[in-house]
Amino acid sequence: MRSRVSLFVLLVACSDPVPVAEGVYGPLGTAIPTATDVQRAVFERGEEVALRRFAPTDGLGPHFYVVFCCACHEKPVFGGAGARYRDFLLVGQRVGIDGYLERGVNGVLPHYTVGDDNRRPTDENADAFALRNPIPFFGVGLIAELAEEAILAHADPEDRDGDGISGRPNFDRGFVGRFGRKAQPVSIEGFIRGPLFNHLGITTDPLGPTSRAQLPVPSPETVRGSRAPLTGGDVGRSVQFQAAAPDEPTEDDDGIPDPELAEDDLFALVSWAMLLAAPEADEPSERTRAGEGHFEAVGCADCHVRSLESPRGLLPLFSDLLLHDMGPELADGVPMRDASGSEFRTQPLWGVAAAAPYLHDGRADTLDEAIRFHGGEGSAARDGYAALPSGARDELLAFLESLGGRAQRTPGLIPPDAPVSPVGAPGGPRRPLNADEAAQFLRGREVADTDRFRTEGLGPVFNGDACRACHFDPVPGGAGPTDVDVFRQAIPGEVNQPMGLAHRFSTEPQRPAPAEGATFFEPRQTPTMLGMGLLDALPEALLEALADPEDLDGDGISGRVNRTPDGRVGRFGWKAQVPSTREFVRDALTAELGLTLPPDPGQTFGAETDGDDAPDPEIGLADMRDLEFWLNELAPPAPRSTDPGQEAAGEALFASVGCVSCHAVLDGPSGPVPAYTDLLLHDVQPAGFRGVPDFEATEREFRTPPLWGVGETGPWWHDGRSFSLEDAIARHETEGDASRLAYEALDADERAALLAFLASL
């Protein structure tokens, strides 16, 4: 039977109370303080695996959602939660009221496919969608140590005490589940192997007995048959959802031998997660103590029990780890193992201050919203919270924010109070700034980094919820990996008719539908924005003088400018379709984030209205000007010389094989601009290539991409399908034929020198 009094209160009232666990807390993203030197070494190696960018040659795909583990677990530091641009969809075919039919449809919907058809279509049988926001990993090793009895002690599946709270366990292979939104996996190993396969397409074998014995936390053996009986009419309703953790080898048919992740790498990755420290709560204050009292009084602690007893003492995670029926308010119809479509695990609250957005689908921007969205078994606590005086509600929220992570909370991903990088350094300004300019640079960086909420106008369709969401390699303002590529869509015809972007996300729990008739999709890799101001300052006349649309000099290079409908020369974007930094800001804020803009005389990009409920404009002109200033003042990538002699030889070869015909150093108003681009349109595609036109740019034409920083902006090519610089060179055809053939004729040492030169830019 379940008591309304927290376990903590009961235990401290005993004559021999169980002490609160010590030595397990630390800054978010760090190893547990009690970790040994050996464990710290494997922790560091595991984080390297978590940050590894996988390529198709490593086994990525054939379908994938992200290219590295920490893509989703990055906020506020690696191992944490994720912003809305890292949400993912579960898709299925609905049967009955809350079930999914298992017909090869159920599972994570990847956005990408390795190969020619890079946009993964939504299965035609799918008619049900459920959104998921990533879960933090902080302290999960401590949760794994909990005995099943500590969780089952709070279960009351038939609500025998009549308090309206009927928490019950989920089961994984006969063990009490404890991880995931539905408590569907029991082990961290399973919780990691599932997303490796469902999100990255990376196959693994279960850890062998020797590896499991060396894990920081013992892993339960895979057994069957000891499942506890289900109650309440749930027998027969359970559906094994494909997104659940596997307990057998995973396999795919991408041509890379399985398993694609070695056992020692999987061991390190699992160990890293197990060793992540628990969030350290703030010292209690009079205000937070009052808030805790309200938390208990309104019934929040009925599910978010203060502590569970662990081998180390009381573990203050503020969760019973049980399933609760949250009613139609939060139901999404996804059953997992024994959890119904309206049941969810009580989310631990330690570190909650740094884990926005909230709830299983990230629908809540704030903790206040998260509480007010509670339904079903959470209704009474919700109503009790809403009935509190505003001051008491503020105290309760202050208590929640005191449970760890507040000091590391950030509006985006840049750490709080992070200083501006030095002049010329990655992420720093390109020139010395005075005090006012430095302040504006910081404001612009904050605008770029800040995650936008739906209440602020995000959407109704979007690709990212911040500028930094796509532009973060190697620093905010840089490029982006394949898993933030966008898609241009078109209606196919004799000439493909462009229909804008095919967005990845919607403010509704479903994938945005393509434009009517659009069945052609072209991926676009995220380009770097570093050094943008130097390119913005190049005179239009300079670019027009470089153009040779008729190839009058007969060199086979016929670069030409792209022009906007009002006659301006384009210079940004893969089709040189954007004429200035100011228009680039306007275009991205609307097209990628769905934000509406204030009028700005002379500017034509972006939208001033949309169909959501947020008042227009959804971003102010001052923020836009700060963002524009930051972009214009960002330093270009700094050269990275490792072998000056080899790089000098490579530079000479770069010129001799003809690369400089397009990848040129231009003379700007303040001197040479070593971006290695003429900003002109060229056709370097193979015969039969079909793409999406943009203004005067044909289907086959693309802007010469700048090469500064090219060694850190992979993968390459407009579609992001080249995972090496050598492959990108090999893909040059038509106007690039001569240079490609000349490169291929070089000997191995010469090719290595040319590649070293590129990597040094």
* Average pLDDT score over residue span 448-460: 95
Q: What is the pTM of this model?
A: 0.93
Confidence of residue 223 (pLDDT cuts 50, 70, 90): very low
Q: What is the pLDDT of residue 656?
A: 97
Q: What is the pLDDT of residue 15?
A: 37
Quick: pLDDT tens for 630-668: 999 999 999 999 999 999 999 999 999 999 999 999 999
Confidence of residue 234 (pLDDT cuts 50, 70, 90): very low
241 pLDDT more than 50: no
Confidence of residue 226 (pLDDT cuts 50, 70, 90): very low
Phi, psi for 559 (deg, rounded to 5): -60, 145
Q: How far is CA 54 from the centre of its chain?
A: 15
Instruction: State the pairing for strand pair 278-279/25-26.
Output: parallel
Three-state secondary structure of 322-349: CEEECHHHHCCCCCECCECCCEEECCCC
Quick: pLDDT tens for 326-373: 999 999 888 888 999 899 999 999 999 999 999 999 999 999 999 999
* Under 8 Å between Cβ of 257 and 117: no
Q: What is the pLDDT of residue 237?
A: 33
Instruction: Record the tokens describing residue 544, joined without a space.
Output: 């027009």
Average pLDDT, the chain: 91
Quick: pLDDT tens for 510-562: 889 999 999 999 999 999 999 999 999 999 999 999 999 999 999 999 999 99
Q: What is the pLDDT of residue 221?
A: 54
706 pLDDT more than 60: yes
- The residues spanned by each domain of the chain are 7-401
479 pLDDT more than 50: yes
Quick: pLDDT tens for 81-131: 999 999 999 888 776 655 555 444 568 888 899 987 677 778 777 877 889
587 pLDDT more than 70: yes
Quick: pLDDT tens for 268-293: 999 999 999 999 999 999 999 999 99
239 pLDDT more than 70: no
143 pLDDT more than 70: yes
DSSP code per residue over 632-677: HHBPPPPP--S-HHHHHHHHHHHHHTTGGGTS--EEETTEEETT--
